[in-house]
Structure 1
Amino acid sequence: MKNQWYSRTTFVILVRVSHSVSLADYRAALTTRGAAAPVLTSLLARLPVAMIGLALMLYVQRVTGSFAVAGLVSAGNLVGVAVGSVVQGRIMDRLGPTRPLLVVSAMFAVLVAAEIAAVQARGPALTMILLAVAVGVTEPMTGPASRALWTRLLPPGQVRDAAYSYEAISMEVFFILGPGLAGLLVNMPWGGTGVLVGACCMITGSTGFALTRAARGQRPRGDERKSGSPLGALATPGMRSVALAAFGFGALLGMIEVAVPAAAERAGHAAMGGLLLSVMSVSSVVVGVLYGMRPWPRPMYLRLPTLLLVFALLIALLALPRTLLGLTLALLVAGSLITPQSTSHSVALETAAPAGTATEAFGWVITSVTLGAAFGQSVSGQVVESVAPPAAFLVASGVGLLLGALLWSRRRTLLADDRGVSSSTFAGAVS
């Protein structure tokens, strides 16, 4: 009986995570009843997601003249975001998104104003760093809330998977636009323009999202309330495997983000560093849409480790070119697996996360990517300084292969659904 239950559960999981999506599925997801207002407001809220930290760093450097202080302020903001995404997610799973988002948006506004005042007054570095941490903690997590809302708006299947793919692709677009906007606005007469504009977009969008009918109507159902485990969303082995996949993904991105500008600087074209990274993101978005139509491998328990391992191998190619043109072409190839991975992380939460933890689970994905990026940037910086950028790409590939192998050893944790599958769910799947 136990083996029979396990085989039925496995079948349901594979049915649910193996869907491919079409352009019609994307259209159906975005035009479903009640989705228009959350989609539009969340777009505004997430536009500056890759902009706030960089704009703050550039602003502090411009005012203080210190890259060291600016770097610590940026790192503090990153730590705050990593903590805040999980804490806010857990609260939203219990209360729904409206009240938490309204509260943190108000706190975020006050703290951004305090940070700007501290920078303008050239206050103590410690004050600016601590405020940056607080700004990150209160940065409204509209992304996880938006992702969790699709579980209410759409039934499991291809259309919901298309919605998750849309979430990943839109975030990738913002990660392309954000740094460019930050660099543009910091050159305005007032260096804090980027921070202010980004904060206003985030506050307006988050408040608007929180007040939409769909968000206000989202409440945890009685059968979805958490068991009270202190681990929260990380209570299941499958969720810990998704977090590991996200950490590995973030670590490799962090290493690339340091090594590519270093390679451009070494080639005598320091200004090309940001453009090269944007080229990688362009291929990521294009391939991400196509990958959603025919994902490979189909089973999620194979997909996550395979994508991480192949991504690590592609990063090794970045060490081969001796010209920036060659590096550009290699980045186009390597970047093709960015959106497929972020989309797969989001879809994997369907079966990996404990019931009632959808928002917190996505918060853990953000936290894992953020911590991975911090780790990757620190390691890559040391390798670039002591050896050369090509060596950093090889180290990144090695780290990715090790983490991918560890994830492969845990692949069956993504196969078991620790929450169980109800008979009605099974009947719906087989029909």
Structure 2
Amino acid sequence: MNTYRQLFAIPGVIRLILSAMPGRLAYAMIGLATFFFVEQSTNSVTLAGIATGAETIASSLTAGFRGHIIDKFGQTIPLSIFVPSWVTAVTVMSQQTHAATIVAASLFVGLASPPINLSTRPLWRYAVGAENLRTAYAIDTTMMNATTVVGPFIATAIAIGSGAMYALVFTAACMAIGGVAMITMPLSRTWKPEHVESATRTLFSHKPFQLLAIEGMIFGLGWGILEIAIPSFATITQNPQLSAPLLGTLAGTSIIGGILIGGRASSITPLRGFRIAQVAVTLCAAPLAFTSPGWSMGIVLALLGLSIGFAQVYHWEVLEAVRPEGTATSAAAWLWTMEGSMLAIGAALGAFLVEHVSAHIALFGVFVGMFSGTAFIWWYATPYLVKADRQLSEVEMVQALVDIEPTRQ
């Protein structure tokens, strides 16, 4: 506790935590707020999935561009452009009534995504110094995860109680407040980017990274189906209020899993841990297709989230062990870009399957995705990832914790 007190006493730390929180809450709300708005406006779960997927894929594909302009111009100018653009796009979308204009607006929402997380993480190094960095990242990740759990509950409560249009307006207001707080924060305004040489070509010709990217894309497809199948299934069974508790259970237990593994002292190497965790994810996903929104799905999602939390930490530790030197940021950013793009495709596919085929088939697709990723790692990729079959240094473990936070936002 004394360590945390000392950290909070450092000038600018409390302001940094509070400034980032409203924007992160907005990101945690936008998915379900968009889903319910489109579903209520068009009475189509498929269109809701397409709109949600359009936001995600546009945000993911442009993550590298946002990171580049921050590295080139600092934080103040990019945030001053992206924040009002995003707030305007969400507000405009909340006033649309036709399917085509709603999807177009959701695409622009993704393109205009303010780089809140991309801006926050570098500020910790600037604010607390290297000696306090791991404690600072632990606090920052906890705050981000808290908004990930709370956001869907707020979005669902507003969408069902007052209407999804108001959920979008509230989401835009949160981003506006958070954006102003970040832009006016002295830490952000005085932060100067480091000069980093581009290593993209080296990264994409690197076999271990290629394999992790393929596995991440497979996982992203399955995860995208899951994230949209839950609210879609709940909605068509006339239980939309269950969407937030179910998604919150999945997110909450994944946080617990990540904390348990991230704070461990273990002799298990990243590669071995990743292989075991992948098997656990597959086994936990197997009964999902036999559940329905309620207790049965909640229990399975709790176990699945826990195992995914384990797998996430080991996944990023494997990346940290095998990536080319000089690609600490770009490796994570490009991996999130490709995984996020497939997540968007999975969201659209999942919504279509729920509405036009079967919700249980969509959930079975989640199992297929998890099984395919596990099989790929076990039966093909492992020989190329042997550099991860060792214990990581303290510096590498800190960087792996950094990588867990989504860098597309």
Matches within 5 A, 1:70-109: 70-109=48-87
Query: Structure 1 residues 115, 343: closer, same or farther in 2, change over 3 A?
Result: same
Query: What are the Cα deviations for residues 212-258 of structure 1, in whole angstroms up to 9, with x where unaligned?
Result: 2222232233xx4223x565976766655664554454334334335
TM-superposed deviation, 1:143: 1.3
Which amino acid is 2:22 matched to? L
Query: What are the Cα deviations for residues 140-188 of structure 1, in whole angstroms up to 9, with x where unaligned?
Result: 121122123334445557x534444444443333232222222222245
TM-superposed deviation, 1:41: 0.7
Q: 1:315 is matched with which residue: 285, 298, 310?
A: 285
TM-superposed deviation, 1:199: 1.3
Q: Radius of gyration: which is bigger?
A: 1
Structure 1 stretches lacking a partner, 5+ long: 1-22, 422-431
Q: 1:397 is matched with which residue: 370, 379, 392?
A: 370
Residue in structure 1 matched with residue 16 of structure 2 by the alignment = 38
Give the Cα–Cα distance (whole angstroms) in 2 for the partners of residues 230 and 294 of structure 1.
32
Residue in structure 2 matched with residue 114 of structure 1 by the alignment = 92
Give the Cα–Cα distance (whole angstroms) in 1 for the partners of residues 146 and 113 of structure 2.
19
- Pair 1:226 & 2:197 matched: yes
Q: 2:26 is matched with which residue: 48, 51, 63?
A: 48
Structure 2 stretches lacking a partner, 5+ long: 396-409
Residue in structure 2 matched with residue 204 of structure 1 by the alignment = 177
TM-superposed deviation, 1:298: 5.3
Which of the two has greater helix per residue?
Answer: 2
After TM superposition, the score normalised by the length of structure 1 is 0.73
TM-superposed deviation, 1:284: 2.4
Secondary structure of the structure 2 residue equivalent to 1:226? coil
Give the Cα–Cα distance (whole angstroms) in 1 for the partners of residues 125 and 183 of structure 2.
16
Identity of aligned residues (%): 21
Query: Structure 1 residues 247, 150: closer, same or farther in 2, change over 3 A?
Result: farther
Residue in structure 2 matched with residue 331 of structure 1 by the alignment = 301
Residue in structure 1 matched with residue 144 of structure 2 by the alignment = 171
- Pair 1:373 & 2:351 matched: no
Secondary structure of the structure 1 residue equivalent to 2:65? helix
Contact 2:49 2:228 in 1 (8 A): no
Give the Cα–Cα distance (whole angstroms) in 2 for the partners of residues 27 and 166 of structure 1.
12
Q: 2:256 is matched with which residue: 271, 276, 286?
A: 286
Q: 1:257 is matched with which residue: 227, 247, 250?
A: 227
Residue in structure 1 matched with residue 108 of structure 2 by the alignment = 134
Which moves more between the two structures, 188-197 or 258-267? Answer: 258-267
After TM superposition, the score normalised by the length of structure 2 is 0.76
Contact 2:275 2:374 in 1 (8 A): no
TM-superposed deviation, 1:205: 1.0
Give the Cα–Cα distance (whole angstroms) in 1 for the partners of residues 113 and 293 of structure 2.
40
Query: What are the Cα deviations for residues 78-118 of structure 1, in whole angstroms up to 9, with x where unaligned?
Result: 2221123222112112222222111211222333343334x
TM-superposed deviation, 1:49: 0.9
Give the Cα–Cα distance (whole angstroms) in 1 for the partners of residues 308 and 93 of structure 2.
33
Contact 1:164 1:347 in 2 (8 A): no
Matches within 5 A, 1:384-423: 385=357, 388-389=360-361, 391-405=364-378, 407-412=381-386
Which amino acid is 1:277 matched to? L
Matches within 5 A, 1:335-354: 335-343=305-313, 352=323
Which amino acid is 2:28 matched to? A
Which amino acid is 2:342 matched to? G
Query: What are the Cα deviations for residues 319-358 of structure 1, in whole angstroms up to 9, with x where unaligned?
Result: 5779954443332222113444445566777674764873
Give the Cα–Cα distance (whole angstroms) in 2 for the partners of residues 408 and 31 of structure 1.
45
Give the Cα–Cα distance (whole angstroms) in 2 for the partners of residues 139 and 203 of structure 1.
12
Give the Cα–Cα distance (whole angstroms) in 2 for the partners of residues 167 and 47 of structure 1.
13
